[in-house]
Amino acid sequence: MSEQFADFEGRLRRALSPVEPPAELEARLETTLGSLVDMATEELEAWELSSMGDPRNWTRIARPVAAVTVGSAAAVGLVLVRTQRRRHKRRRESVGSVDLLGRTLRDLAREARRVADDVF
């Protein structure tokens, strides 16, 4: 490898230096992942409770219901957090309160679709 080539690699390494994630992203991700971990724990507990009754019936019914219920709560929280994050941009771009409301609803719908794809 030529010296010139190695030198260019050094410049490239400096140009593409690692980018630190924003602190608020770390906090938000930890909260989101924590919710998912708790959600799965509650699902497990629901499964245990149901299996103490009649396992032939309860495990088939209660587990998915518990998962969907708890999972829905976590997912709704995630949608709200994500929509809330875009509020300054919406305010900047809107031309009145009706327009702002429309943009907020569109963002909510978009985030709901994305969270549904991510989580379920």
Partner 1 sequence: MASSEHTREEKARLDDAFSALYKAHLRDVYSYSYYRVGNHHDAEDLTEQTFLQAYRHFERAQRESAGRPLRPWLIRIAHNLAANYYRDRSRKPQTPIDDAGVLSAPHTTEDLVEDRDELARILAGVQKLPDDRREALIMRFALGMDNREIARALGRTDGATKVLIHRAIRQLEEIVKQAEGPTEP
Site for partner 1 in 30-59 (CB under 8 A): 32-33, 36-37, 40-41, 44, 47-48, 51
The yes or no reply on residue 119 touching partner 1 (CB under 8 A) is yes
The answer to the question of residue 3 lying near partner 1 (CB under 8 A) is no
Interface residue with partner 1, options 3, 15, 23, 92 (CB under 8 A): 15
Please, which residue, 11 or 98, has the CB nearer to partner 1? Answer: 11
Task: Choose the binding region for partner 1 from 16-24, 61-69, 95-103 (rule: CB under 8 A).
Answer: 16-24
3-state SS track over the chain? CCHHHHHHHHHHHHHCCCCCCCHHHHHHHHHHHHHHHHHHHHHHHHHHHHHCCCHHHHHHHHHHHHHHHHHHHHHHHHHHHHHHHCHHHHHHHCCCHHHHHHHHHHHHHHHHHHHHHHHC
